[in-house]
Structure 1
Amino acid sequence: MSVKPAAPSASFSGPFALGTLSAPDQASFPGLVVPEGRVLDLRGALGDPALTTRRLFERWDEVLPRLGALAANGATDTAATADAWQPLDGLRVHAPVEPRQVFQSGANYRQHVIDLELAHRAPDDPRTPEAARAEIAEVMDRRAAEDLPYVFIGLPSAITGPYDDVVLPSWAEQPDWELELAVVVGKPAYRVSASEALAHVAGYTIANDLTDRATVFRRDMKAIGTDWLRSKNAPGFTPLGPWIVPAASIADPGDLRVTLKLNGETMQDESTEDMLFGIARLVSYASQTAQLLPGDLVLTGSPAGNGMHWGRLLRDGDVMDGSITGLGAQRTRCIAQGAS
């Protein structure tokens, strides 16, 4: 049984957001959500019975003005389609999009990396904690100015809904949370510059990029490096959503509050201002190698406050509440594999 609020909240910035929803025993549909707590099934409104949120992004420049007009009409109850609107309460909220590709950024929050470096200092390090912190901070600043982002690939099959249970695999010894701002691509991007990159962004949503710390590095082949397949891509390891908020509704994605609470206790609470590489640089960098497609996700990295920092990893029954300014909130419960 999933843990969810009594009714999903339509709390987000701007006049509308997009989601994927379903009524009981009905197929899911792409929905236009307005802050008044109502939803419009876009399959009928746009005359496309096979429409999905991903297909919306494939027509983003064309369809965006129509979405704005539909939202304005729905908010005032003056549209001829008013009868097509239904209350959000009672609908199930799924992951808002099914991407073809997921690009994930690692070591992208300054304070997070500093904390990790300090936590893993050698026992015989002669520096004081203050001196070590200052030196690591200088390296981070130089990296942001001179180096390249670190981006790797995730699997769409790891994505789950924003209120769905997260099954902790029996082999995961150190499952950890990583709440992140996720960028949704709106039109193909290949070898775009940082100055062009934001024009390819349709909107933003919330992702919790879970990681089993114990399997990040292969024990049998330490020299080979990170094993992101095993540590990050179990089914349900990427709760996504609830909503995709259009980019135009977010005044400054470089200044949003990322907050995760574990069983009501705040563990992560940081601004995206702490990112080493901003959204434009991440999107541009990923596009230098791969072609980013409509509906794809670019996860921007996790701020300080992960479980390894607190010495407290996820376990059966834990409830995570994640929120980002203007994007709403998600709630997921952890269930040990095999638990009833």
Structure 2
Amino acid sequence: MTYKLLSYHAENGIVAGILVGDRIFPVAQALNDPAMRSTMDVLEQWREARPKLAAFAKTGPAGGLPLAEARLAAPIPRPPVIYCVGANYKDHVENMARATGVKLDTNPQASGQKPWFFIKSPASVVGTGEKIRLDSTKLDWEAELALVVGVRSRGLTQDNALECIAAVANANDLSARDYMLREKQDISSPFRYDWIGHKSFDGSCPMGPWLMPMDDVSDVQDLPIRLWVNNTLRQNSSTGNMIFTAAEQIAYLSNRLTLHPGDVILTGTPAGPGAETGEFLKSGDVVRVQIGDLGELVNTIS
């Protein structure tokens, strides 16, 4: 039997759980180690924990907390680092080129270019069911596949890059488009872009509802990726439309710095964000993200 790794609110705070079927068990119970309280504890010892969690799930344990009765938190409430790749889906780049009237490159590998990243604050993460405060007149949605590192890694190649990934999850790279450009800055100014205001505000990185072990993902480049706003399908694509694959992204990052357990890599968003049409989120909107069989990430804009 397969399992999911998650975080949930318990009497003694947020703790890590293993979801088997529709029942949640404390990870400390599954690993027979009371010190294992958080998903970070598990990820920091992923090589040892991985077979034990799988073995626990295989036993078909009895008892546990019904999923329907649990209040979930973000799977990793505060990841060490969140790396976000930009402009990484062919269909999205093509749509933005049409919307802006600017010719954009959908094949940067041909000219030897590499993936392009920015970083979101670890404090921007929220879980499924949490409300997102609306502090923007152009709040945009971006469904993204999140890769979660489980093995400290440096100098990986495309051939072995995925070996460092413990799990994957749904994510939403919320973006405040009205804060992207700073006021009173000329186009030539190096201070023109505001990455903090645009991408790193509180609540800008919903993740969840849980982590699916990489062992259960048959092909990370063949997952349907969808997002709805108020039950209207806004994004409907596949991870196969990535410009730089997950392996290429991991290899690039690991050859610039060391990746650590718990680090998250957001792998880009496909066609359909509001920036393509000028439509943005408003108070009361409900946003749902569903990638493959990773469950459903749901957040309301308040």
Does residue 290 (structure 1) correspond to residue 257 (structure 2)? The answer is: yes
Distance 2:209 2:141 in 1: 17
1:46-65 mapped onto 2 (5 Å cutoff): 46=31, 47-49=33-35, 51-65=37-51
- Counterpart contact for 2:145–2:170, Cα < 8 Å: yes
- The residue aligned with 2:23 is 38
Counterpart residue identity of residue 93, structure 1: L
- The residue aligned with 1:153 is 119
What secondary structure is seen at the aligned counterpart in 1 of 2:276? helix
Counterpart residue identity of residue 69, structure 1: A
- The residue aligned with 1:114 is 94
Structure 1 position 50, deviation (Å): 5.0
Distance 2:266 2:126 in 1: 15
Structure 1: 4+ residue segments shifted above 4 A? none
Structure 1 position 295, deviation (Å): 0.8
1:248-287 mapped onto 2 (5 Å cutoff): 248-287=215-254
- Counterpart contact for 1:162–1:240, Cα < 8 Å: yes
Structure 1 position 311, deviation (Å): 2.4
> Residue 69 of structure 1 is aligned with which of 36, 46, 55?
55
Does residue 197 (structure 1) correspond to residue 182 (structure 2)? The answer is: no
| Cα deviation 1:23-61 (Å, max 9, x = unaligned) | 4x5412100001x20011012332123521011111111
Greater Cα radius of gyration, structure 1 or 2: 1
Instruction: Give the alignment's Cα RMSD to 1 decimal.
Output: 1.7
Q: 1:311 to 1:320 in 2, by over 3 A?
A: same
TM-score (norm 1): 0.83
- The residue aligned with 1:28 is 14
Counterpart residue identity of residue 321, structure 1: R
- The residue aligned with 2:290 is 323
| Cα deviation 1:78-102 (Å, max 9, x = unaligned) | xxxx34x221121101100131101
Does residue 96 (structure 1) correspond to residue 105 (structure 2)? The answer is: no
Distance 2:36 2:221 in 1: 35
- Counterpart contact for 1:179–1:208, Cα < 8 Å: yes
Counterpart residue identity of residue 157, structure 1: A
Q: Give the length in aligned residue pairs.
A: 297
What secondary structure is seen at the aligned counterpart in 1 of 2:160? helix
Q: 1:144 to 1:238 in 2, by over 3 A?
A: farther
> Residue 4 of structure 2 is aligned with which of 2, 13, 17?
17
Percent of counterpart pairs with the same letter? 32
Distance 1:305 1:144 in 2: 25
Counterpart residue identity of residue 114, structure 1: E
- Counterpart contact for 1:29–1:43, Cα < 8 Å: no
What secondary structure is seen at the aligned counterpart in 1 of 2:170? strand
- Counterpart contact for 2:144–2:171, Cα < 8 Å: yes
- Counterpart contact for 2:4–2:19, Cα < 8 Å: yes
Distance 1:191 1:154 in 2: 23
TM-score (norm 2): 0.93
Distance 1:144 1:154 in 2: 29
Distance 1:291 1:219 in 2: 36
- Counterpart contact for 2:223–2:292, Cα < 8 Å: yes
- Counterpart contact for 2:149–2:262, Cα < 8 Å: yes
- The residue aligned with 1:11 is none
What secondary structure is seen at the aligned counterpart in 1 of 2:226? strand
- The residue aligned with 2:277 is 310
- The residue aligned with 1:168 is 134
What secondary structure is seen at the aligned counterpart in 2 of 1:266? strand
Task: Give ranges in structure 1 of 5+ residues lacking alignment.
Answer: 1-13, 123-131, 336-340
What secondary structure is seen at the aligned counterpart in 2 of 1:241? strand
- The residue aligned with 1:127 is none
- Counterpart contact for 1:191–1:287, Cα < 8 Å: yes
Counterpart residue identity of residue 18, structure 2: L
